[in-house]
Copies of this chain bind each other. A is one copy, B any other.
Amino acid sequence: MLETNTSIRVRYQETDQMGVVYHANYLVWFELGRTDFIEALGFKYHEIEKQGVVSPVVDADIQFKKPVRYGEEAHVKTWLEDYDGLRITYGYQIFNQHGELSVSGHTRHVIVKEGSFRPVSIRRSFPNWHKAYQEALEG
């Protein structure tokens, strides 16, 4: 199964006054993992947008298990959890410097037209992308 591993160096700006990474920033780290996963599939997200579509998140869940701290080097593991021709679900696990599971979660995405946000079928409109996701799912 395709899986990518993205290294993250914690930014001071990402901490809050609890002395740990502010929780919403893990969604940004999921984005970094997803970018690498899409590249491993053979695409670049910024080139997809040049075709007049964007890929917003439709839902997300996150479990915060252990805080990550400034000065640590974290890792995001990303994989394809589900795909049905219309919606793509990614899974994520973030590990802290000691290899402990810190955060896990999923984000589900669709493809929509830029501006109007009208849904687009990946299967019909982006057959190359569809094929890559199908193959990644079947492993």
Contact = CB atoms under 8 A, between A and B. Distances in A.
A15 interface: yes
A52 interface: no
A98 to B, nearest CB: 15
A52 to B, nearest CB: 12
| Tally of this chain's copies | 4
Interface stretch (A58-66, A77-85, A86-94): A58-66
Interface of A: 11-13, 15-20, 22-25, 27-28, 31-32, 35, 44-47, 49, 54, 56-64, 67, 70-71, 114-115, 117
16 contacts: A12-B16, A13-B24, A13-B28, A13-B31, A16-B17, A17-B19, A17-B70, A23-B27, A24-B25, A24-B27, A24-B31, A56-B67, A58-B64, A59-B62, A59-B63, A59-B64
A93 to B, nearest CB: 14
Contacts of A28: 11, 13, 24
